[in-house]
Structure formats: C-alpha cells, structure tokens
Amino acid sequence: MKKLVKMLVSSAVVAAMAFGMTACTSGGNPTTQATTKAPDETAAATTAAPADTGDGLIKVGIINNDPNESGYRTANDRDMKATFTEENGYEASFFYSLKNEDQIAAAQKFIQDEVDYLLISAAGTSGWDGVLEQAQKAGIKVILFDRTIDASEDLYEASIVSDMAKEGQQAVDWLASQNLSEYKIVHIQGVMGSSAQIGRSGALDTKVAAEANWSIVKQQTAEWSEETAQQIVQAVIDSGETFNVIYAENDNMAKGAVAALDKANISHGVGKDVIVIGFDCNTWALEELLAGNWNYDGQCNPFQASYIDNIIKNGASQKVVIMEEKGFDATTITADDVANYGI
Amino acid sequence: MTTDTKVQSKGSAGEFFGKIIRNQLFIPIVALTLLVIFNLISDPGFFKIALEPSSTGNLILSGNLITIIDNASELVILAIGMTLVTSASGGQDISVGATIAIAGSTVLRIVKGYAPDIPGSQFAGMIIVSFLLCVVVSALFGAFNGALVAFFKIQPMVATLILFTAGRSIAAWINNNDNISINDKRFGYFGNFIPGIPVPTPVFITIFCIIVIALVLKFTNLRLYSQSVGINASSSRLNGINPKMIKLLTFVILGVCVAVCGFIKVSRTSSITYSVIANNIEMDAILAVALGGNNLGGGKFNLTSSVLGAYVIQFLTTTLYKFKEIDSSSISAYKAVVVILLIIISSPFVRKLIEDFKNKREAAKAEAAVGKEKA
Amino acid sequence: MKDSAVLEMRGICKFFPGVRALENVDFTLREGEIHALMGENGAGKSTLIKVLTGVYPKDGGDVTLSGQPVHIKSPQDAQNKGIATVYQEITLCPNLTVAENMYIGRTSGPFTNWNKINSSAGKLLDELGIPALPTEQLGNCSIAIQQMVAIARAVDMDCKVLILDEPTSSLDEQEVQKLFNLMRDLKAKGVGIIFVTHFLEQVYEVCDRITVLRDGKLVGEYVIEDLPRVQLVSKMLGKDFDDMAEIKNDADIEKIDYNGVPVYQAINLTGTTGIKPFDFEIHKGEVNGFTGLLGSGRSESVRAIFGADRVAGGTVKIDGKEVKIRKPLDAMKHGISYLPEDRKLDGIVGDLSVRDNIILALQVMKGFFKPFSRAQAEKFADEYIKLLSIKTASQDTPIKSLSGGNQQKVILARWLLANPQYLILDEPTRGIDVGTKVEIQKLVLKLASEGKSITFISSEIDEMIRTCSRLVVMRDGKVVGELKGDDLNQNKIMATIAGGESK
C-alpha cells in the first residue's frame, strides 16, 4: 500500500516535471528556437537570394514578444513562422521575450551570429540605439514590425506598423454612421497605457467630448480579461443604468461583456438593444458577427510577414509602412471574410 | 442582592464582547458590515434583488448581491484550498492563477473537439471526462508543488514560483496557443445559469465544495493533522503523523480546488485568454486567508473565516466597479488602501492592543477589590 | 551585603485571558545579594520575570530601580536600564556565532568591528572558563555551553540586576560550580541576582534570601537561615510535604519476573545518530533508566527504540514476537510511547489546545479517517486533566500558555491516554518544579505496579535511584554497564559513568 502511494507520488512528480519541461521548450519564455540548418545544398541553391549566405539562404533573426501574450501575437508569430521558411529562402531564428533587455541581448547575439536581417518587435521603445548601430556596422539590415522605437530612422530599413488610432477612428466612424438618437456607451479598456488602448480609447474619447448625444456610462479597464469585463458590465447592469453600446477594446473583453448581457436578458447584435464592438478579428469573433450577435469588429492586422518579405526581396519604398486595416460590419461580413481575416 | 446580579450580568456582557473581539470571524464580519453600510448609504437600492426572465426566457435572480456571491465563487473555493496549504506548510501557493489557466485550458482541449450540437448524453459524458481530466491534471500539478515543498523542503512561495512563471505558457501549449471559443450554449451553464434555475450555477458549485470540505473535516483528522504539522512538524512526527504526506495532501486538495475554479472560469465566457485568466487571483486568495485572521505562518486555521474573507474581497471589488467616478487606472490603488486598512485591523498588533486595554481594566478592578478588602 | 534596594516591585498584576497570573505581588532585591525566586509551576515566577524584563506589559503595580520609578517598555529597554536576563529556554540565535550572540543588539552605529568583538568575546569566555570559540556557530555547541554563552552575554552587559531563570537545569555539576563562582564574583561587585531554580540544594548553596510565590500571589520573603528546606517546600506547595526519599516499594520490584518473556527486546539495534549497536530488554512492571553524561547517547538510544530517528538494523521483539519498527507510528501501534527530551521542540504542539494535545497520539493511532467525536475528546481531556491535576484555564487553552510543568503533564497525559505497554520518559522532570517532579515519579511507580514497563531518564541521579530498579549506563554512545539492586547508589553510578572499575 505504502509502496503504491510512493510510486504514485513519484510518477506524478516525474509526469508533472516532464509536462512542464516540454511545455517550456515549446512555449516558454524567453526561449530561443533555432531552426536546423538546411543540409541540402542543391535545394538551397535554387532559391534566389540577394544576400547570399554559405548555403544560399537568407539568415534572419526574429525578435518578437511572447506568443502567449494574446491571440494577436499568436497569429503574428504563426504568420512569421509560415513566411520565413526554407521553401521561401530563409533560415530563421526566433527569440521571444516581453522584456526589452532580454530582447536587446538577443539582438546582440544575432549580430554575432552574422544574420542578414534583424526583424524586431520591440517590447519597449527606448534603449535600442546602441545595438542598432552595432548592426549597421556589421552590415545587418534592421526591419521593425508592429512596434516602433525611439531611434534615428537611419538605423533601420523600414518600420511596419499598425495605426491603432486609425483602427479606433474607423470603429467610431462606423458607430457614428449608425445614426442612433443617443449613444450611451460602456467602454471597456485594455491594459492602461498600451498602444492599443491609447489608440482605441483616444478616438472614442474625442468623439464623446465633441458630440452632445454621446455619453459614457462606464469607462473602466478590464486589462484584456473577459472575466473582468463580464464583472464590469454586470456591475453596470446591477446599478440599473441603461446603455446601448458596448465598446470593448478587444474581442475577449467583448465576449465577457456579452456573457453579462446574456445573463441579464439584454439583447445585443444586429437590430437589437445593444451594439457590440470588439477588436482583433479573432475567427470566433467574426463568426459572432456573421451570426449577427455582434455588430462590428475592428482589425489589428497581425500579418506583417508578407510586407517584410516584400521589403527584403524588393527593397523598401518608404521608411514607415502603415498596414491596411479592416473593420467588419455584421450586416456585410461574408464567410470568406471570416476565413481570410480571422486570426 | 439586586445590585449583585446586575454586576454579574455586566461582567458577562463584557466577557461576551471580549469573546467576540477575540473571535476570528470578527474582522471579516466587521469588514462586510462596513461595506454593506457604505453601499447602502451611497445607493439605497444596492441590495435589491429581482427575479426576471433572462435572454433564454427563463426566470433568473439578478442584483448586486447575486453578482457578488456569484463572482466570489472561484475565490471562495480557492480560499478553502489555500487555507489548508497555509496551515500545513506555513506558506502560500502563488501558482494558483497560472494553474487555473492550465485547468481551464485542459477542459477546453477536450470540449473544443466536439461539434456544438451533440446529444445531451454525449455532452454530459464529454463534460464529465473533461472535468475529471482537469481534476487529475490540476491534482498532479498540486502534487508537483507539494512534493517540492514536502520532500525537497523548498519554501512554498519559491516552490510555486516555478509554476507561477511557467503555468500560463503550459496552458497555452496545451491548446497550441489557439484562441478558443466554445459555441455550445450548454457549456456556459456551469459558469452562468442552468435554464429554469434562477440561481447562478457557480453558487451551487461553491456550496457543494464547502459541504464537501466540511464533511472531510468532520469525518477525517485533516484539521488536527495539518494544524499539528503546521505548528510543530517534529512533534507531529513523533506522534506518528507523516508531515510530508500531510503537506503533499493539502497541495493536492488545493489542486482539486484549482480544477473546479478553472472549470467555472472557462465556462463563464466559454473562452480563455491564457495570459490573463484568473489574473492575480492568487493574491486575492492569500488575502482572503489573511483577512480571515488566519496565521500565514501556518498552524491553526478557520475555514469559515477564510470563506468570509473571500466574500469581503469580492464585495470590495464589485463595489469599486460600481463607482463611475473611480478612474480605471487607479482602481487597484483604491483596493489596496482598503485592504491595508483591513489587514491592519486584523493584525495581531491591534488585537493585542485591544486585549491589553481589557487586561488593564481588569487589573484596575482587581486592585479596587483588594483595596476594598483591606478597608 | 548592603541593605539598599536596587529593585523594588510593588503590587504587580498581570492577567492572561481567563488566568490571573500575578496578583499584587511585591518583590525586593538588594544590592549584592543572590535572591531565590521559588514556587511551583504556574506560581508566577516566569511571569514576574517577564514583566520585569518588559516581555509582558504589566497590568498594574509599580517598579523602582535604585529608588527611581521606571517603566520598562521592552526587553531592549530593560537591558538599557541594567536588567540582564538569562532565560530558562535558550533565547539566543543558533545560526549566529558565539561572539555575534554575545553582542547582538548591543553594538552602536551602523559599523561593527567584528575582529575587536571576537577578541573581547574570546577574552570573556576564557575568564569564565567557557570552552567555546567566539567564531563557532552557537547551534553547534552543546546546550550547556549555549547556556553559559547566554550568561556571558548578560555578565558583559554591566548589569545592576541579573536574572538567571533556570540556568543550571542543563549544566553538569562542574559547570554548576563554575557558574556559582561567577555568581559570587558578581555579588561581591554589588550586582543583585535573581535566581530561579528548582534545585533546592543549589538555593541553599548560594542564595541569601528567598521569595516564595504560589498561585500568582506572594507567600513571603525569607532570609535563608530562617527557612529550613522542609518549610520552604511546604510553603511552595501550600501543604505539608511527605517524605520523598522512600517512594519506591521493594515489594513491587520483587514481583518483576526477570525470566519471563520481555515486553520489549532489542538485539543489536543500530541507530543512525552516532550510537553503537546495543542490546536492551525490559520486563513487565519494570522501571529502568538510561544514564550517562550529556551526549553519552542515552536519548539517542531511546529514540532508536521508538523509531524517532532512522534505524539502520537490528532485531526488535515485542512479547517475544519479532516486529519491525521503522517510524514512530510503528512503535505506537506496538504499545510503545515516548515522551521526548525537548518538550518545546518535540513534545508540545504549541498553538493547539490542551485537549487536542492530549488526544493527539491516540487519535493518530486510531487513524486519519476515524476522528474522535468532540464529546469523546472532551471526556478524555477532562479525565486526564483531573487525573494529573493539570492547571489550565480550560481544555481549549493553547498548551503554550501553560507553565512548563503543566505542559509536561499534558504530554504525559497524551501518552498515558495511548495506553502503552512500554512507556519511555526522557527527562520528564526537566525544568519543572519540585512538587510536580515528585508527582511524576510517583506516577511512574504507580504505573509500574499496574504492570506497565517504563524507561525513565533523568539528569538527576537521585531521581533515577528513587524510581528505577535497573540502570543502563552509557558513555560515548556505548552501553558500558548495567546496575541493579545494591549497586544502585550514587558512588557506583558515578564510577560507572566515569569509567574504570569501582572498588
């Protein structure tokens, strides 16, 4: 009996550790994942590459944020991994961290490894000058994606970014176009100070300040969490205040808000009592749109890889590339949109 | 004669008062009362409860009180496990938020694979399988933490730091980092309402958990053993208790609590965000234990007190959500101020001050009595 | 001896929830005297000292130091005012060095010259003849040396009032004499010394005056010459004291059947704590003892019997049947109970109630899934609180707020409740008052006459001679002799402990 207990315990520990370890290598943070070098010379030689390494592949070092951070980042990381493959002529190494210092250290390592291109989605905006100068001296070209940094434009080839303010503006314009007689808005914010929060809140705040019939019933951060969003909306409902718009700064929070609405018998969606607006275009969120449960979803385009690929292969036409952003209206969205733009 | 009896009744009233002050439930009850009064003043309709039809056409209860009791469910269940871990190991598990992410992710891993409209019996089977798997996984992670604490003698906070850091990555890895949303309405029953029943399901789950733990404490020696181990492990060992197994056991129990919480959490919104699900809940759970007047250094514990502490914290959170004037970015600061006040009131230092004051009064009385005798 | 009072305490009161620990107690200490503070467990000695040293705030009364009224706010404050204390339980930090322990909390400014401190600590240790290095970690020293370091610390603080709370309970005779010399030196320098002890002989050896407390109240203050021993004891107990010399009943000893099957028998029992493999057996109704100097392995031997430490080998038979005892629970299930040497560390479960402490062992034996009902537990506790006359406010009182002797009785109750066939008592009389000591010895003999087998260990050879019918003598982790019958006398035992043949 005792032996059995001991055995169970020890195997549990081993299992838990093994579980933990595999998880670390596949999703851990920070981790460096280097793809194996392609030994196949002939295959490599067939791909044309402007900067030729020994095996004919373009070596890129990709520094990104932790893919677990959000659905956006997951989609972004998948897009990068799908684009920078050997078939496309790349030999890519990845590094993930949410810490600026770790990212800078990784950049230095990539410079020592003599990559051809350094692709950076910086965690913080400052502190990058030194390492970018090193890269320049070493003849390594730098392309920023998703996030900008405070450094001289000379230090990088191009910067591919989303314009969060524009996303917010598109959503607010769409909302204005609904021509409601009165706008009573529950505004659920993301983590305060994040660029997405600033951009998406900014457009709405400006509009509310400008229009007499727009008012905020409740404005609070749910820090990207659906449960917190649910609790906030629940509190508003319990307090007896009425509202007709939920403006949630990402899909998950919109989902939490909708859960609270469902609980309280408040109808939502196309032609219903409450308009629901989300952001990020998760596939499941677009499906909600398709079903008419939500009204609008703003995109934050995570697919920078094709832009970068284009710049590497054809050269940069301008320093700052602002990506196309879409916004989907529940009344016009198609199943194809869901398939193409869902992340 | 009459004066005599009067004095006596006065004395017993003072005794009664002293007993209340010394009682562990005193602080959480006072905190609850203060919150109730505060809310009643600021909004007389705060405690209104309505029975109205929901979007599904079923009657449901709604109102602030229902919301608080509903939303506190996860915290209450966690506080139970956390109290036991605190008692036996003299430390806290800070990985519960991350392991809730793992538990929730495990459930979704099973559930996402099924078509939304499978027949009822199949659905029930799937839910049972997913829940059992989630319990097993969470218990294993609990055992992992427990083994580090019991066998490797690592301080609980340090030991659980491992999963605190890695847990959310593991959760994301379980589902290949997919952003999952379950379309089957029935999956949401566990975190919301079961059609036809006006009380939120998590409330039932919480009551069930409380009953289970009450029965466990009644029909086993868990209380005596974990308190003994927490107070004096060496002495407990010489009395035939195996301190390592008891510590491990409390961590496994916490693991099961985590599984239940994870299940409720993902059911509430039928989705998961790995990085923020049950964010900072470990701090609230530890706080609930502390607010309940339990010694965070282990030993004696009072579960009722912890459970009340958990409700106090959720009450506070909901109260803060209600206030429009409170700026988003400063909400945690407000919460911190209130919490600090509560913790100070419940600190041994303040309790001792109250007790000293009482003793002084008694001394004065005794001196007076002696004086009388001499006279 | 000068007659001016260095310390006066008047009408001191102290209350704990449900207990009046001190009620209107007066105490006077004169310059250059050694003043014994006597009383049974729970009489209020420790409380009075804790009030004096600022550990507890007093709830009433006044304290004057050299004629000045003072308010002592904390132990630190007491130190600053010239009141130094060496407590019964060692309160130093085992993970610091000897010198650090001597000077901690007494250095001024943010910088400390450790070299200087180490050398001055070394000098002082030499003067006092304490065999410890200043840089040695305190935890590695024996309890006796730790105690002496604590005294050295107090001595070095230039105190006006030195409180020694049970300083001799873990010292051997030689060390006690060294301490007494030191006390006389300090007395000559005009220091007032409060000496708390349970050893009557020591009181009469060094003290000038005696203050007796009983049940939190003052009984009286006496000059030593005016108070013969018997009277002192009767004042402490509040009743006449029957002669304790002859408590052993020879008839009971004769009943022991040494040829029968032993209740417990160990052959070549091998421990892992530095003792040599040993053989041991005990018969029904027998009281035996293990004796030897501190560190001779007597405690380690009984711990090995109980499975308290890992056992490496050997055969154990209970009633002639071979059994395996690997951990305490095995021993308990085979009817062995063990009252450990270190009450605070291994015995009590401090925050738990007296009731829970009493039922603990029996409860564990009954099993995890079979808790006693509350009523049953209360019945057990009541029964044993009465049986051993344990002084406690209630069953629910945490055991840690009881006095040392009453704590010991609770632990004793725990093991009696477990109803063992073989009861091991390791230093059950250490640090408790004389009345309880006798009670415990009588209890041991009564249990033996009822057919239980008992191993009784005590540092006081007198006690062993009074209670035991057979003594196992140990030296350096080895059994070096076994004494019985007429051999059970002080000289023979000493000689065996010391080694060499006694003539």
What is the tally of structural domains in chain A?
2
Q: Which run of H or E residues covers position C68?
A: strand C68-70
User: Rounded to an integer, what distance in angstroms lies between the CA atom of residue B282 and that of residue B288?
Assistant: 10
- With contacts defined as CB-CB under 8 Å, which chain B residues touch C23? 366, 370
Q: Specify whether A249 is located in the same domain as A290.
A: yes
Over 50: is that where the pLDDT of B10 sits? no
Nearest residue of chain C to residue B364 (CA atoms): C60
Fold of C243-335+421-503: Rossmann fold (3.40.50)
Q: Which of B275, B315, B326 to mutate to test the interface with A (most CBs of A within 10 A)?
A: B275
Over 90: is that where the pLDDT of C375 sits? yes
Return the closest-CA partner of residue C256 out of C9, C476, C484.
C484
* Edge-first strand listing for the sheet containing A296-298: A214-221, A183-189, A245-248, A275-279, A296-298, A327-329
Largest separation between any pair of C-alpha atoms in chain C: 71
| pLDDT score for A43 | 39
Confirm whether A12 is domain-assigned: no
SS3 string, C366-381, reads HCCCCCCCHHHHHHHH
Q: How many CB atoms lie within 10 A of CB C442?
A: 16
Confirm whether A80 is domain-assigned: yes
| pLDDT score for C118 | 85
Q: Specify whether A277 is located in the same domain as A209.
A: yes
Contact B274, B168 (CB under 8 A): yes
- With contacts defined as CB-CB under 8 Å, which chain C residues touch B227? 349, 351-352, 356
Q: Between these two residues, B295 and C376, which has the higher pLDDT value?
A: C376
Report the mean per-residue pLDDT for chain C.
84
Partnered with residue C137 across adjacent β-strands are: C97
**B162–A221 C-beta distance less than 8 A:** no
| Average pLDDT for B190-201 | 89
pLDDT digits (tens, 9 = 90+) for B202-236: 999 999 999 999 999 999 999 999 999 999 999 99
**A20–B321 C-beta distance less than 8 A:** no
**Predicted ipTM of the assembly:** 0.82
Q: Specify whether A212 is located in the same domain as A267.
A: yes
CB-nearest to A238 from B62, B163, B178 is B62
The CA distance from C130 to the nearest CA of chain B, in Å, is 31
Q: Specify whether A175 is located in the same domain as A247.
A: yes
The CA distance from B88 to the nearest CA of chain A, in Å, is 18
| pLDDT score for C354 | 95
| pLDDT score for C399 | 92
**A255–B270 C-beta distance less than 8 A:** yes
pLDDT classification of C502: cutoffs 50, 70, 90: very low
| pLDDT score for A47 | 39
Within chain C, all domains assigned CATH 3.40.50.300 are found at 5-237, 243-335+421-503
pLDDT classification of C352: cutoffs 50, 70, 90: very high
Give pTM, 2 decimals.
0.75
Chains C and A touch (3+ CB pairs under 8 A): no
Residues C28, C33, C34: CA angle, nearest 5 degrees: 90
| pLDDT score for B17 | 62
| pLDDT score for C126 | 82
Q: Specify whether A111 is located in the same domain as A192.
A: no
pLDDT digits (tens, 9 = 90+) for B15-66: 666 666 667 788 888 888 888 898 888 888 788 888 877 656 778 888 888 8
The CA distance from A151 to the nearest CA of chain B, in Å, is 29
Q: Specify whether A34 is located in the same domain as A145.
A: yes
| pLDDT score for C166 | 79
Q: What is the sign, positive or negative, of the torsion defined by CA atoms of C403, C405, C411, C412?
A: negative
CB-nearest to B329 from A17, A192, A285 is A192
**B265–A13 C-beta distance less than 8 A:** no
The CA distance from C186 to the nearest CA of chain B, in Å, is 36
What class has domain C5-237?
A: alpha beta
Over 70: is that where the pLDDT of C247 sits? no
Q: Which of C368, C412, C414 to mutate to test the interface with B (most CBs of B within 10 A)?
A: C368
Pairing mode, strands A245-248 and A275-279:
parallel
* Edge-first strand listing for the sheet containing C60-65: C19-30, C5-16, C60-65, C68-70
**C24–B370 C-beta distance less than 8 A:** yes
User: Which residue reads 């603080």 in tokens?
Assistant: C157
CATH number of the domain at A187, please: 3.40.50.2300
Q: Which domain holds residue A74?
A: 26-161+302-322
Contact A74, A97 (CB under 8 A): no
Confirm whether A329 is domain-assigned: no
pLDDT digits (tens, 9 = 90+) for C439-467: 888 899 999 988 899 999 987 777 888 88
DSSP C216-230: TEEEEEEEGGG--HH
Question: One digit per residue, pLDDT tens: chain A, 343 residues?
Answer: 444 455 455 544 444 444 444 444 333 344 344 433 334 433 333 333 444 445 678 999 999 988 876 777 888 888 899 999 999 889 999 999 888 888 999 999 999 988 999 999 888 878 888 899 999 998 999 999 888 788 888 888 888 888 888 889 999 999 999 999 999 999 999 888 777 888 899 999 999 999 999 999 999 888 888 888 998 999 898 888 899 999 999 898 999 999 999 888 889 999 899 999 999 888 889 999 999 999 999 988 888 888 899 888 888 778 888 888 888 999 999 999 888 888 8
Nearest residue of chain C to residue B18 (CA atoms): C17
| Average pLDDT for C142-165 | 78
**A237–B140 C-beta distance less than 8 A:** no
| pLDDT > 70 in chain C, percent | 91
Which residues touch C8 (CB under 8 Å, ≥6 apart)?
A: C26, C27, C28, C29, C63, C64
| Average pLDDT for C73-82 | 84
**A218–B179 C-beta distance less than 8 A:** no
